[in-house]
Amino acid sequence: MIGKVIGGQYRIDEEIGRGAMGIVYRGEDLKLHRPVAVKFLQFSGLGGAETIKKVLKEARTLAAIEHPAICPIYNVIESEDAACLVMGYVAGHSLKAHLESQGTLGWKDALQLVLEASEGLHAAHLKGIIHRDIKPDNLMLNEHGVVKITDMGLA
């Protein structure tokens, strides 16, 4: 995938994450000159049409929520053999990675993180959406320590 251009405008640069539901790559939007995250859904046991339905469901879920703590979605790319989400790229690391490298958070930082994540989850709940998989892997911290909630695939 590295080096490929998908959807006519998104270049895949490097793999940045892998999970049960898919593989995430950092890429670049060649038209708007901004970094993006491109999430390809895993095909394990899913047919093409079913995979595309799952991708569209996640995309609609994300698109329904506009909040600074929720990672935004920019586009959905689908073909007969693949489907992916193009989302905002969070330059930073997951809370899990932060805890593994830095240890526990101080109480002020922990409180700020919980407040930011809670506000994002509240915005989702107001739209009738429950995340169902909040964990340190799905909370990204940007370079300023601001929380972005990711992976709404189970919502």
Residue 133 among the catalytic residues? yes
Strand, coil or helix: 9: coil
Residue in 48, 45, 38, 36 with CA at minimum distance from that of residue 18? 38
d(CA 44, CA 70): 27
d(CA 71, CA 65): 9
* Catalytic residue from among 13, 29, 81, 133: 133
CB 86 within 8 A of CB 144: no
Strand, coil or helix: 95: helix
In this structure, what are the phi and psi dihedrals at residue 29, rounded to the nearest 5 degrees? -80, 110
Question: Would you name the residues annotated as active-site residues?
Answer: 133
